[in-house]
Structure 1
Amino acid sequence: MPLIDGLTALWDKLLSVQPAPPPLLVLITAAAALAVVVTRVPWRIARNAVTIAHEGGHALTALLTGRKLRGIRLHSDTSGLTLSAGRPTGPGMILTLLAGYVAPSLIGLAGGWLLAGNRITLLLWVAVALLLAMLLLIRNVFGVLSLLVTGGVVLAVSWYASPQVQAAFAWTSVWFLLFGGVRPVVELQRLRGRGRAPESDADQLARLTPFPALFWVSVFMLVNLVTLALGTVLLAGPILRDAGLAL
C-alpha cells in the first residue's frame, strides 16, 4: 500500500546512518560554536536556544515528577519562566528547579551520542518534535515566535539542506549546547554576587534544602563541565579514529 510504503521509507530515512564527518569539520564546528559562546553579540542572539533548552528541562522534569505544568514563557532578554503546580517543597520541586541549568548540557550530550552513531537525520527530527511539543506549552507571543523560528530552521535544514550542510549544522548545534551550558552558570553567579538574582534557581534550591545557593551553583557547573568532557569525547570520535586513538 502506498501509505505503508511511504511510512516505511520515512522510518528508514529517520533511522538511516549518515557518513562520518571529516575531522576538519568537527574541529571547525567546535571552534565556531565556542566563538559564538564567548563573544558578546552572537551569544546575545544565540542564547535564546539555551533558554529554550533550560525551560524545556524545567517543564519535562515537572511532568516526570508528577507536577501539573501551567505553561512556559520566553522573553526577549533571553530569560524565561516555567510555571508548574504541585507541592511547593519535596523532591519533585527540587528536581524541577535543578533541571534548568543542566538541561542544555545534557541535551547536548544526548545529541553527541546520536552524532557519535552518525544519526544526523534522527537528531534533527527529534529536535523538531521536541520544539513542536514545547510550542504547545508556550504562553506568550515572543515565546511562540522563538519556537517557530528555531523549529523552522531545524526543519528546513533537515528537509532541504545537503548532507554536508546537515552535518555542519548538527555538529555546530550540539557543540553550542555543550559549551553554552557553562556560560549561563557563570553569569548566574555574577548576578548573585551583585544581589541581582534573589529568586534564581540556586537560591530557591537553597530555601528548599540544607545547602546554600553557592553549593547548587557549583553543582550546576560540575555537571555541565563533566557533560562537556563526555560530549567532547563523543564528538571527537572522527578525530580519534583518524589518529588511531579511538577506544
Structure 2
Amino acid sequence: MQSTTTAPAADLWDRVTGTQTAPEFWLVVATGVAALAVVLWGPAWRPARNAVTIAHEGGHGLVALVTGRKLEGIRLHSDTSGLTVSRGRPTGPGMILTALAGYTAPSLLGLGGAWLLAAGHITALLWAATALLLALLVMVRNAYGVLTVLITGGLFVAVSWLADSQVQAVFAYAAVWFLLLGGVRPVFELQSKRRRGGAPDSDADQLARLTHAPAAVWLFFFHAVALCSLIGGGGRLLGRS
C-alpha cells in the first residue's frame, strides 16, 4: 500500500511532468493579439516592460555564472532599466557571452517556452518560470527589484496553484507570446537611442569594444535572434493548437 506521505509527492510530480491540453485555437490567437497590444501600446508597455527587464538581466546573470564569472548582484529600476554586476576577466569569451545574453534572453526564453507548450507541458512551464524567478530573487540588490520579482513570481504561483487548467493554459500562452513579442521592441528602442546619440554604454557598444566589430553588427544579431525566435516560437504555438 502506498504511504500517505509519498502519494502527494507522486501526484505533484505527475502533475508537473505530465502533459495538458492546449487551449482552443482562437484563444491562442487571442492571447497573441493581447500580448501584441501590450507591446505596442505605450501606457501598457511601460509597466509590462519590467518583465522583459527581468528576463534581460536574468540572462546576463545566468550566463555570467555559467561562464565562470562571479555574480555580484542585479538591480532593477523603476524606469525599466537594469544593471547586472559580475566580476572576472574584463575581456574574453565569458564577458562577450555575458554581454550577448541580455537582449537575446527574453526571445530565447519565449522560444523555449513555446517548445514546452507545443509539447503540452503547461504546468512544467509555469513551475520552471517560478523557479527561475526565485533564483533571480536571491541576487537582486534593490527594493524595487525585489518587489518587481516578488509580484511577477507571485502571479505565477497563484496561477499554478489556484487557477483551473484552462486559465493556466491561457496564462502560459499569453506569457510566452509576450516574451516573444516583447523581445523585439527593446532592440528597436536601443537602435533609436543610439541613432540619437544615446546609450553609449549599451550592450551593443560593450560588445563592439570587446570584439572590435561595429555595434551595428551586434544590433543586427539582436534583431535576428528576436525575429527568428518570434517566427519559430509563434509557429510552434499556433501549430500546437
Into which bin does the TM-score normalised by the smaller protein fall?
A: over 0.9
Counterpart of 2:69?
Answer: 67
Aligned residues: 239
Amino acid at match of 2:97: L
Is 1:31–2:33 an aligned residue pair?
Answer: yes
Q: Structure 1: state its 5+ residue gaps.
A: 240-247
Cα deviation digits, residues 161-219 of structure 1 (max 9, x gap):
11111111110100000000000000001111111100000001000112111110110
Q: Which residue of 2 aligns with 1:237?
A: 239
Give the one of 189, 192, 195 matched to 1:193. Answer: 195
Tell me the distance in 2 between the aligned counterparts of 1:219 and 1:78. Answer: 22
SS of 2:5's equivalent in the other structure is helix
Q: Report matched runs for 1:83-232 at 5 Å.
A: 83-232=85-234
**Offset at residue 238 of structure 1 (A):** 3.8
Q: Distance in 1 between matches of 2:210 and 2:124?
A: 39
Shift of 1:2: 2.5
TM-score (norm: length of structure 2): 0.97
Runs of 4+ in 1 over 3 A off after TM superposition: none
CA contact 1:50–1:104 (8 Å) conserved in 2: yes
- Deviations 1:113-170, CA, capped at 9 Å, x for gaps: 1100111111001111110010000000000000100000010011101111111111
Whole-angstrom CA distance in 2 between matches of 1:178 and 1:3:
40
Q: CA deviation at 1:9?
A: 1.1
Report the TM-score, using the length of structure 1 for normalisation: 0.95
For residues 95 and 77 of structure 2, the distance between their equivalents in structure 1, rounded to whole angstroms, comes to 23
The 3-state SS of whatever aligns with 1:2 is coil
Tell me how far 1:3 sits from its aligned partner. Answer: 2.4
2:11 corresponds to = 9
The alignment yields a C-alpha RMSD, in angstroms, of 0.8
Instruction: After superposing the two structures, state which structure 1 stretch, 4-13 or 213-222, moved more.
Output: 4-13
Measure the CA separation in 2 of the matches of 1:74 and 1:20: 34
List per-residue Cα deviations over 1:37-73 (Å, max 9, x = no partner).
0110100010000000000000000001000000000
Supply the AA of the counterpart residue of 1:200.
S
Report the Cα distance in structure 1 between the residues aligned to 2:5 and 2:140, rounded to whole angstroms: 33
1:48-59 maps to which residues of 2 (within 5 A)?
48-59=50-61
Work out whether residues 22 and 238 of structure 1, in 8 Å CA contact, stay in contact via their aligned partners in 2.
no
Runs of 5+ in structure 2 lacking a partner? none
SS in structure 2 opposite 1:84?
A: strand
Amino acid at match of 2:89: R
Q: 2:5, 2:107 → 1: CA distance?
A: 38
**Displacement of 1:20 after TM fit?**
2.3
Seen in structure 2, the aligned counterparts of structure 1 residues 176 and 49 have a Cα distance that, compared at 3 Å, is same
